[in-house]
A and B are shown apart, each in its own frame.
Chain A
Amino acid sequence: MIVRGDSDRRWRRIFLILGIVVAAYALLAPLTSLDAAQSAGVPLLADRLWFRIATFIAMFVVMATAWNIIGGITGYAAFGNVAFFGIGAYTTGMLIAKARWPFLVALPVAPIIATAFATLIGLPLLRLRGHYFAVASLGVGVAVGELVQNVEYHGQPIFGGASGLFLPIYSIDNRGLFFFYLMVLAAGISIAVTWWVLRSRFGYGLIAIRENEEAAAVLGVNTTAYKVAAFALAAALTGMAGGIFSQWNVFINQDNAFPIEYNVQMILMALLGGTGTVFGPAAGAVLLQLLIQFLGGSLPISADIPFVSDAARPIVAQVILGVLLVVVVIFVPRGVIDFFGGRTRLSLAYLRRSLRETSL
């Protein structure tokens, strides 16, 4: 690899500045919706749609960053993390809707229950490796959703059943603003946790497990405890996002609390941004979620896809997502963050090398 010091440093600085500008805009734009700003004549930069999309993006930043801890740093391909999201959503949802707890008291319970569940299933599941772990975790995701929807007690669905669970609306001024900043806070916590993990003895143990589990065990890493802890940490963060989601969205059911496609989306985000890094999954989450919203036609800017009717649009969007998945996996397996860090440049030679390394 040829090192081009000056131009690389310049590019890195440009991307850094760009990232800061985007982040600053995202964090400050909501303030224009406050009454004080409106009466002072500041132009409105964030409407309801803006809040909805931005909160969704922050939610995926949490999930992708959390997945990175078990999938990227520890190297265990967890395919069922959506179970923790759903458990978090239903924990907070049940406490608010049935037990009438206040939201901010019910929210911290979500990561606790998710952690407990992850520890419980992690002990048997994390004994499995490779494909076995991946599909077993996928199965857990499916099975938990099914149980939550169908478990009954004396003929009454415990968790609201197929008709879902309605929560009372959280009464606070500027609700959109509140939930956006709450989700951003959750995203910030996730990134900070990742940063800490990567600099701690715990994180080095996890990386050792990823690189060679037997060797890690020989070196004195308590692999079972480390793996379960990583799984539980990912579960706690994901559960927290679920807890916020339930009160933000006011309505939860099996479809929006346990969507199977989230499993793959969070992995693709982490992969796109670069697994095992601090900011990679977050960057991937922003990019991919914007793309998904764009393809789905819910962004204010949208482009017509030629020869496609409006009705077929969501389906075509899925096809494009599938093609993107295939292309990313084949050509940029180390994530696009490789290009921004100044480590490599996007070139034909790079793509060809990626292909040669993995193909038969």
Chain B
Amino acid sequence: MADFVQLVILGLLAGGVYVAVGVGFGLVWGVLNIVNLAHGSLVIVGGYLTWQLFTTLHLDPFLTLPVDAVALFVFGYALQRGVINRIIRAPLLFTFLLTFGLNLIVVNMLLLIFGSDFRSVTPSYSGQGLELGSIVIPYVRLISLGVAIALSASLAFVLNRTRTGLAINAIAADRDAAQLVGIDLRHAYAVTYGLGAACAGVAGGLIAMIQAITPTAGEPYTLQAFVVVILGGLGRVSATVVGGLAFGLVEAFGQSIPGSGSVFANAIAFSLMVLVLVTRPQGLLGRLR
């Protein structure tokens, strides 16, 4: 029983990271109809920012998260405005290839700047945890889960309660109608992508505290974000939160099966995804459109 509880807790904690990675990815996909293969590289840019601020300025890593968000927002805004907006009307294969190309550029630029060494962010409290009987909950993971939930909540707030958010929702519903009522599409698209990138940046900051990062460490997260969004259902932040936590649980239980280890992480994730797509294409919480 204690094992079971431990697994559930570990799964939910791991799910926090997936929530953070998934919300930005889901926003860009749902609104702009772009499967952003560069998402993982943006995550890792956030991770390196946190690492750099932590090692040179000795800032507490959690305090660097707003910096990650702002920096990635600016970068994402510029990227969408300058590059991705140019192919919004092209067939889907092109957005795929374009974002893959951007991923290639960002990852290899990081390799040129930081090299391929593993970097980790280890604040003084990194090894400590909350003890509940026989179960130990690491502080970093616990706070990360809280940050991920807070991030999702603020994203949901922006989307549902602000003028910009309403404009973004309008685009998601009908691009041409949105333009007719006076929404500046180029700007709104760029803001959406910027918000997605900002979420990726925060996720990257969290990931840098949890695992050692390299420039290529973001690629699995792109695929996992995709699975998370599909699992929850496209189009709502809350659905992605559920999808992320569910994915964390599935992963924790999958890894606990003796003999499977972590080597089948991708295989498990993708079998799960194909299963969901074939049986319940709208996701766990999604509505059919």
Co-complex (A, B): yes
Interface residues in chain A, defined as those with a beta carbon under 8 Å from any beta carbon in chain B: 71, 77, 79, 124-125, 127-128, 130-132, 134-136, 138-140, 142-143, 146-147, 149-150, 152, 264, 267-268, 271, 312, 315-316, 318-319, 321-326, 329-330, 333, 355, 357-360
| Chain B hits for A132, CB < 8 A | 230, 277, 281
Query: Is B118 engaged at the interface, CB distance under 8 Å to the other chain?
Result: no
Given A134-B96, A360-B89, verify A146-B278 contact (CB < 8 Å): no
Query: Is B263 engaged at the interface, CB distance under 8 Å to the other chain?
Result: yes
| Chain A hits for B102, CB < 8 A | 322, 326
Q: Which of B9-17, B65-73, B151-159, B264-272 contacts A (4 or more CB under 8 A)?
A: B264-272
Q: C-beta contact mask, B225-241 vs A, less than 8 Å → 1, else 0?
A: 01100100000000000
15 contacts between A and B (CB under 8 A): A77-B92, A125-B274, A128-B277, A131-B92, A138-B223, A139-B227, A142-B266, A143-B267, A316-B108, A325-B101, A326-B83, A333-B94, A358-B86, A359-B87, A359-B88
CB-based contact B96/A77 at 8 Å: yes
CB-based contact A318/B89 at 8 Å: no
CB-based contact B108/A318 at 8 Å: yes
* Count of B interface residues, CB-CB < 8 Å: 47
When the two chains form the complex, which single residue of B92, B98, B189, B259 contacts A325, counting CB atoms closer than 8 Å? B98
Given A71-B93, A77-B92, A264-B100, verify A319-B263 contact (CB < 8 Å): no
CB-based contact B274/A319 at 8 Å: no
Interface of A is mostly: helix
| Chain A hits for B185, CB < 8 A | 360
Docked Cα-Cα span, A173 to B128, in Å, equals 66
CB-based contact A329/B97 at 8 Å: yes
Nearest opposing residue in chain A for B109, CB measure: A319
| Chain A hits for B111, CB < 8 A | 315
Interface residues in chain B, defined as those with a beta carbon under 8 Å from any beta carbon in chain A: 29, 33, 35, 83, 85-90, 92-94, 96-98, 100-105, 107-109, 111-112, 185-186, 189, 223, 226-227, 230, 259, 263-264, 266-267, 269-271, 273-274, 277-278, 281
Report the minimal beta-carbon distance from A72 to chain B, rounded to whole angstroms.
10
| Chain A hits for B29, CB < 8 A | 131
Given A147-B264, A271-B97, A325-B101, verify A134-B108 contact (CB < 8 Å): no
Nearest opposing residue in chain B for A134, CB measure: B96
Given A358-B86, A360-B89, verify A322-B108 contact (CB < 8 Å): yes
Report the minimal beta-carbon distance from B225 to chain A, rounded to whole angstroms.
10
Docked Cα-Cα span, A268 to B259, in Å, equals 39
| Chain B hits for A134, CB < 8 A | 35, 92-93, 96
Report the minimal beta-carbon distance from B192 to chain A, rounded to whole angstroms.
12
| Chain B hits for A79, CB < 8 A | 96
| Chain B hits for A325, CB < 8 A | 97-98, 100-101, 104
CB-based contact B267/A315 at 8 Å: no
CB-based contact A135/B87 at 8 Å: no
Q: Most chain-B Cβ atoms within 10 A of its Cβ — which of A323, A326, A357?
A: A326
Nearest opposing residue in chain A for B100, CB measure: A264
Given A77-B93, A268-B97, A315-B108, verify A355-B267 contact (CB < 8 Å): no
Report the minimal beta-carbon distance from B29 to chain A, rounded to whole angstroms.
7
Report the minimal beta-carbon distance from B103 to chain A, rounded to whole angstroms.
8
CB-based contact B104/A318 at 8 Å: yes
CB-based contact A316/B112 at 8 Å: yes
CB-based contact B85/A360 at 8 Å: yes
CB-based contact B88/A139 at 8 Å: no
CB-based contact B223/A358 at 8 Å: no
Report the minimal beta-carbon distance from B151 to chain A, rounded to whole angstroms.
24
CB-based contact B264/A136 at 8 Å: no
